[in-house]
Amino acid sequence: MTTLTDYLNHVSCDAALSEVITTVTDVGKTIAQLLRKGALADILGEAGNQNVQGEDQKKLDVLANDLLLDALAQNSHCAGVASEELDHATPANVDGSLLVLFDPLDGSSNIDINMAVGTIFSILPYNRQGQASKDQDFLQPGTKQLAAGYLLYGTSTMLALTITDTVVMFSLDPDTGDYIVVEEQVQIDADTSEYSINSSNYRYWRAPMQQYIDELIAGEAGVRERDFNTRWVAAMVGDVHRILCRGGLFTYPFDTKYANKAGKLRLMYEANPMSLLIERAGGSATDAVNRILDIEPTDIHQRVPVVLGSKNEVNYVRELHLQHANKQG
């Protein structure tokens, strides 16, 4: 039974990185306990305010954010924190070597209905020791991530983590409080017949995405010559976890639903960490055409269209978009 601590020692992980990962995953245990108490812990419902995204915050959004912020502020290796719930990055320890970004509670709309939610985290290098970190320090492409992962608070609490060139899956043993390795090298099939999209936005999508979904719905009678299945958890963590377990394609594409949003998902603390996991598990992650991990960020809360999962399916979506672009001339 290999614990997270054993694993971090085994991969001879940098001590600072190990300690920051341990801090984040320890907070995950607390969040999991709160979720297990649910309505009995007075953590459901609205917090009564909105975050920088203009989204109504749930009580647990705020609580999870504060738990992570407080714990990381006490970790000497953390130089700063960026969160979906905070307008700007928060400086921590000026001598720290790491920056931590997170969506403290992904899938907030699922909290009050007892459905899957998660915490997504990304760790970047900090290169200005001795000075207080600023938003600008976080604006690094996804390829610079030193580690990324998520905690999925489902029927069991699971941790997906990538530090080296592989993705390792852990399950939290509620009796011992240890994260135990359950899969040492997660791999995604290149092909799939399962896709995830919120189809109610169909009229807002660009033509190639509409064509792609039309083909999947046409099934074996259409050009794809096979039937497809669909799933939509409404929590990216849940859909990505399913893909890491059995393949699939997840997309929150560009849509014209809101003029100033390129898509719903945020690059720095949702798309980048998930894209690193997906690529390290043998999948692909694009904005429909370009590799997400190569995107040079301009704002810590910038949004990006996302197409990720089984690489042959992600590439097929890319081909459709390129064909449409060529037709446009």
Residue 253 makes contact with ligand AFP by CB under 6 A: no
Q: In this complex, which beta carbon is closest to ligand AFP, that of residue 85 or of residue 313? A: 85
Nearest CB to ligand AFP, comparing residues 74 and 199 = 199
Among 36, 46, 52, 55, binds ligand AFP (CB under 6 A): 55
Q: Cβ contacts of residue 61 below 8 Å, gap of 6+?
A: 47, 51, 85, 104, 105, 108
Q: Where are the alpha helices (DSSP H) in 219-310?
A: 236-246, 272-280
Considering only 62-70, 104-112, 217-225, 289-297, which stretch makes contact with ligand AFP by CB under 6 A? 104-112
Residues 6+ apart with CB under 8 A from 47: 56, 57, 58, 59, 61, 62
Looking at beta carbons, which residue is closest to ligand AFP? 236
Q: 203 vs 327, which CB is nearer to ligand AFP?
A: 203
Instruction: Give the x-and-dash track for 185-224 against ligand AFP (CB under 6 A).
Output: -------------x--------------------------
Q: Name which position in 80, 96, 107, 142 contacts ligand AFP (CB under 6 A).
A: 107
Contacting residues for 291 by C-beta, under 8 A, at least 6 apart: 275, 284, 285
294 makes contact with ligand AFP (CB under 6 A) = no
Contact 118, 153 (CB under 8 A): yes
Per-residue DSSP letters for 202-245?
A: GGGB-HHHHHHHHHHHHGGGSTT-S--EE---SSHHHHHHHHHH
Token pair of 223, please? 């050009």
At 157, the amino acid letter reads T
Q: Binding segment for ligand AFP among 63-71, 106-114, 122-130, 204-212 (CB under 6 A)?
A: 106-114
Q: Does 106 bind ligand AFP (CB under 6 A)?
A: yes
Min dist CB 117 to ligand AFP, Å, is 8
Contacts with ligand AFP, residue ranges (CB under 6 A): 55, 106-109, 198, 234-236, 252, 264-265
